[in-house]
Structure 1
Amino acid sequence: MSIPLGDILGAQAQPPFGVVAGAALIALALVGVNTSWRVVRNAITIAHEGGHAAAAVLTGRRLRGIRLHSDTSGLTIMKGKPTGLGMAVTLLAGYATPSLLGIGGAALLDRGHIRLLLWLTILLLVPILVMIRNFYGLLLILATGAAVFAVSWYASAPWQALFAYTGVWFLLVGGVRPVVEVQLHRRRGSGMRSDPDQLAGITRLPGGFWVFVFLLWTVGSVLAGAYLLDLLPDTALPW
């Protein structure tokens, strides 16, 4: 059995408004409830570390590997100058990437490319899989890819739509909570090696400034995604 390329690249019918709104509510519940967040946060960590890795490669750094841990933390191992523009871009990419992927996914869904989004998700997981350097991370990437593949291959169109919209909403909404969490850790004095504090060491701008930048980006991305997915009227955004 195979899926014609046209079925992947072609547009599918837009789901009813109830599916879009329902997917948003599911994503909010997944992010807002601590029990579920401790599980699904792994997906945000994959995007976060993938962002670091991609930025490291694009700025000429040598990527050594990625580690994903069972406490939902992660580590991107690289070699290169620990200061300068390249390192700053690499650090910025972590918290920015889940929201960036969410906006990209919303843009695809806005054009009806539900199956294409699912297959692109699998494609983006492949280079991360290659760079994984621990067993838990390997299992996590394989399980995530298998889940997306199962939906893209076996699920009916309505279930594919619900899964895709929930995933995009989750990236958008889920991008905000880690920024709030890192600031809470910083206030308790346990976030001194956080991305904002490392950026402060490079740029001489305070870590709180970078937390604010991340918060603006992630919240703005939620609004942009809501606009693309037709949950906000045109007049609701300032741009």
Structure 2
Amino acid sequence: MEIIGHWWQAVLAGFSKTDPLDLAPLPIVGLIILCLVLTVPRASWRFFGLYVTFVHELGHAFAALVTGRFVHGLKIRLDHSGELASSGKPGFSAVFSGFWGYPTPAVVGLALVASTYYGYASAALSIGALLLLGSLLFLRNGVGIAVALCSALTAQLLVVYTPDQAMAWVVLGLGLMLLVGGVRDLFKVLGVHTRRRELIASSDAYLLSQRSWLPAWFWLFAFTLVITVSVVLAARMLLLMLG
């Protein structure tokens, strides 16, 4: 109980404003290079891509919950595919939850970058730690549970043991990595619709076109728009932090 109490106090302490990061060009360039090394090469993407898929599926799940759908569970597979099972009325809720998959990693990445810009990196990490614990309720396969447990454990350890300034750098790095991951997955789904059309039945854009009167290209454009805006806004905040 003492350990739980210590953890809970650390989570609550995170909901406070801290000094925004004071960035210098050399450290931020180093951080960007590190983020690219961890997300672009196929060897490292094999692992971090599972986390991006996890965030993707959580985007579907959260959008389903806020529109009144019942989430039965979600699965993540080693090939970076995922599946959310939810039920509810057809129409807006199904389309809304179906849309918030591919844009979610970039939007969360933007939120993390913004939290470091405004001095709320520790709050972002505390919220993330709680959400990751809650996500364990929805996982329905071994790979998904393993990804969620590793993510949740890492978040809890960071909340308890990381100093504020170090925490801000971690949150900023994770935000940048999610932005890169969101862009990478966007190119992946665009490739499905242009070069690998044998996989099109698994595309969120195709599934959305079946649930609405709007064609798949509209949903691809919508994904691209949200992700592009997220990247541009995050880049602007980085430049402002650099002065």
TM-score (norm 1): 0.87
Query: Given the alignment, which residue of 64, 73, 76 partners 2:72?
Result: 64
- Which residue of structure 2 aligns with residue 132 of structure 1? 139
| TM-aligned CA distance change 1:4 to 1:192, over 3 Å | closer
Query: Given the alignment, which residue of 141, 153, 156 partners 2:160?
Result: 153
Provide Cα deviations, 1:159-218, integer angstroms capped at 9, x if missing partner. Answer: 323321110111122111111101212331212221100111223332123212211211
- State which drifts further: 6-15 or 138-147: 6-15
Q: Hey, what's the Cα distance between the residues in 2 that align with 1:126 and 1:198?
A: 29
Aligned letter for 1:192? A
Identity across matched positions, percent: 29
Residues 20 and 117 in structure 2, CA contact (< 8 A), matched pair in contact too = no
- Which residue of structure 1 aligns with residue 173 of structure 2? 166
Aligned letter for 2:209? A
Residues 103 and 225 in structure 1, CA contact (< 8 A), matched pair in contact too = yes
- Which residue of structure 1 aligns with residue 185 of structure 2? 178
Residues 20 and 118 in structure 2, CA contact (< 8 A), matched pair in contact too = no
Query: Given the alignment, which residue of 16, 19, 28 partners 1:20?
Result: 28
Aligned letter for 1:90? S
Would you say 1:54 and 2:62 are equivalent positions? yes
- Which residue of structure 2 aligns with residue 117 of structure 1? 124
| TM-aligned CA distance change 1:158 to 1:22, over 3 Å | farther
Residues 21 and 165 in structure 2, CA contact (< 8 A), matched pair in contact too = no
| TM-aligned CA distance change 1:43 to 1:125, over 3 Å | same
Would you say 1:214 and 2:223 are equivalent positions? yes
Would you say 1:42 and 2:72 are equivalent positions? no
Say which SS state the counterpart of residue 73 (structure 2) adopts: strand
Q: Hey, what's the Cα distance between the residues in 1 that align with 2:85 and 2:71?
A: 6
Report the aligned-residue RMSD. Answer: 2.3
Would you say 1:197 and 2:197 are equivalent positions? no
Q: What residue ranges of structure 1 are gaps of 5+ in the alignment?
A: 235-239
| TM-aligned CA distance change 1:28 to 1:220, over 3 Å | farther
Count of equivalent residues: 233
Provide Cα deviations, 1:98-143, integer angstroms capped at 9, x if missing partner. Answer: 1221222122111122222221111121221111111221121111
Q: Hey, what's the Cα distance between the residues in 2 that align with 1:152 and 1:202?
A: 41
| TM-aligned CA distance change 1:219 to 1:31, over 3 Å | farther
Aligned letter for 2:57? E
Say which SS state the counterpart of residue 100 (structure 1) adopts: helix
Aligned letter for 2:191? L
Q: Hey, what's the Cα distance between the residues in 2 that align with 1:183 and 1:213?
A: 12
Query: Given the alignment, which residue of 102, 113, 122 partners 2:109?
Result: 102
Aligned letter for 1:214? F
